[in-house]
Structure 1
Amino acid sequence: MTKIVSAEDRRFFEENGYVVLRHWVSAEDAQQINQEFHKLWMDLIREGTIVQEEDRPLESVFPRLRDYHFTRPEIAGLILSDDMFAAAEALLGEPALAISTSYYFKGPGTRGLPAHQDNYSVGAAPKTTCSLWTCLSASQPRNGGLYVVPGSHKLGLLEPEPIEESEAEYGEKLSLPEGYEKLPLETNPGDVVALHGNLVHGSYANVTKNRFRQAHVTHFTGTSAERVALNHHALLDRSGSKVRRRLNVRPKAGNPTLKKAVWSGVGGSKPWEGSQDVE
C-alpha cells in the first residue's frame, strides 16, 4: 500500500520548507539501496571510472554517484518507487516528474556542502522542486548530516558567492539572512527529508574516523514545469516513461542576474562535470 503524507506534514512543509518523513522507506529497502550502489561502485572501480586522487584519497574513491537510475533498472526500481512519487506529489500538489538522482557515501574526512538552494542549479520553472533525501545510515552533524534553515524558502532564490576551497567545504555558499539560523537534523535509515527547492540547506563535514553517512537524493518537479535545466529531455513520470520539457537556458528559475552553476560527481550520463553539488 502506498504511504500517505499527512495534512500536518504538508502544513509543516509549507511553513518551514522541509519535513522529515520518519520510516518512509523500510529498513530492508534502505539496505537494498546501499547494496545496489555498492555493487555499482565496485563496477566503477574495476573499469577505472573512479580513480583515487592523491590530495583527497578517501573522498575521491567514494564520490557522488549521479543519475544511475537511467542505466540500472534495479536502482531505479528502488529509488523511484510509488512511495517516493507519492511523497513528492503530496508536497508539490500535483503529479511529479523525477529530474535527477544522486547517491552519497560521505566517507570519513569528506567536506561539508555549503548552504545552497537546490533549484538554483536544477532550474525548474515557473515553479520549483521538491527533493527527497533518503537516509541510508545513521546521520548526525559529526558524520556529515544535513542542516536546514527553516522558513528560508520564502525568500525566493538567492545568489551564492564562490568560496575558496578548503579542508572543510567547497563550491559556492549562501550567507544566512538576518534572523535565520541553521537547524541540524538527525535521521535514521529509512527516514526521508523532503526539501523545498528554495530552502537554504547544506551538510556538515564528516569529522569521524570510521563512519560513513550514506544517503540518496531524488529531485522532483511537478508536471506543470515548463522548463528544467537538468535532464530536461529525460524526466521520468511515475510509470517510468520519459517526459520532455524545454531546456531552461537561465536555470536560476529564469532570473537573468544569477550566473549558471553546474553539478559534479560520477554520473550515468555526464561524469565529472562542473563544480557545484546539490544535496
Structure 2
Amino acid sequence: MKKFEVDQIKDAISYFNENGYVVFRNSFDVNEGESFWSDVENALNNGTPLKFSHYGKIYTNPDVPLEGFKIPRIIDAETHIESARRMMLHPIVRNFLRELYDGQEPTCLQTLTYKYSSEQGAHSDKSLVAPPYASSYDRESLTASWFAIEASDERNGALIIYPGSHRLEKRPIHDGFGDDYGAFVKHCIDVCLEAGCKPISFRAEPGDVLFWHGDFVHAGGPILAPHNQPTRRSLVCHYAAIPEGKGSDDPSWERVPFDGATYFRACA
C-alpha cells in the first residue's frame, strides 16, 4: 500500500481523489499516541463519565456491558480528554483537510476510540454520521481519519478498505433497509464487488494516519489471532467543511475553536 510523507500534501490529495483514501506515514509521534492512550486508560480507571456506543445504545462509564474483556468503542473522548483534541486536530489533519477543503479549516464532528477492532461490517459513513448538532452539514465534505496507535494486521483485525468505492452509487442506510444493518452491509459489498472494487487490508504501523472519503466503503477486520484477543488501538475522527460562524444545530451543544480549527462539545 502506497504511503505518503507529511510534506506531500498535494500528491496525496490527487491520490485521495482517485482512490477514496490516502495514508501518511510517521504523521504523529508514536509517544504522543501512547500518551493519548494513557490518558484514555486513566479516564476509564478513574470513573470519568466517558460515553460508549454498544449495539446502537449509549452507556456511560463505568456502567458498560462487556463482551468478555472487549470494551466497546468510546464516543467523543475529547469531551473529557484534552490529548484527544490535540490528536483529532493534529497538524496532519489540518494541513491535509485545509487543502482538500480549498483553504477552509476542518470541523471535527465526532471521534470514536477503539481498543480492539470493531469487526463492523463493510459500510459507507455518508448516511451514518449524523450528529444532531451538525445535522445540516454538507455530506459531500465528510472525511474520516484513522490514527494507528499501534501496528495492525489481520491478526488483530486490520481495517479492510475498498479502493475506488467512493465513486460508486450506494443506497443510504435509511433507504429500504429498515433495522437490518446486515442488509446494508451486503448491499455495500455487492456494489463494490460488482464494480470490481476488491477489499484489501490496511496493515498499519504506529504513527500512520489513514484518511478516507465520506462515501468510501470500509470495515473492521475480524480478529484472527487463534488464542487471545489482541488490541488494535486506534482513534477514528469524522470531519466536515462547515462555514465559519455557523453554530450548532442543537442548542445543547456548541461549536468551539481549538488549535486553529473547530469541534463540537456538549454545553456545560
TM-score under structure 2 length normalisation: 0.74
1:65 aligned counterpart, secondary structure? strand
| Matching of residue 49 in structure 1 with residue 61 in structure 2 | yes
Question: How do 1:6-17 and structure 2 match up within 5 A?
Answer: 6-17=9-20
TM-score, length-normalised on structure 1?
A: 0.71
Contact 1:45 1:51 (C-alpha < 8 Å) held by counterparts: no
Answer yes or no: is 1:217 the counterpart of 2:212.
no
1:66 to 1:53, Cα distance in 2 relative to 1, 3 A: closer
> Is 1:175 paired with 2:192?
no
The answer for unaligned runs of 5 or more in structure 2 is: 1-5, 51-59, 131-136
Q: How does 1:48-197 map to 2 (within 5 A)?
A: 49-51=61-63, 53=65, 56-59=67-70, 62-93=71-102, 94-106=104-116, 112-123=119-130, 124-125=137-138, 127-160=140-173, 161=177, 172-173=184-185, 174-177=188-191, 178=194, 179-197=196-214
Q: How many residues align?
A: 234
**Residues 128, 198 of structure 1: 8 Å contact kept:** no
- Give me the whole-angstrom Cα distance separating, in 2, the residues matched to 1:46 and 1:149: 35
Percentage of matched positions with identical amino acids: 19
Q: Please identify which structure carries the higher helix content.
A: 2
RMSD of aligned residue pairs (Cα, Å)? 3.4
2:220 pairs with 195, 203, 220, which one?
203
Contact (CA 8 Å) 1:99, 1:232: kept in 2 or not? no
Identify which of 19, 22, 45 aligns with 2:22: 19
Q: Which runs of 5+ in 1 are unaligned?
A: 245-267, 270-279
* Separation in structure 2 between the aligned mates of residue 19 and residue 7 of structure 1, nearest angstrom: 12
Kindly provide the amino acid, as one letter, of the partner of residue 46 in structure 2.
D
Distance 1:212 1:171 in 2: 28
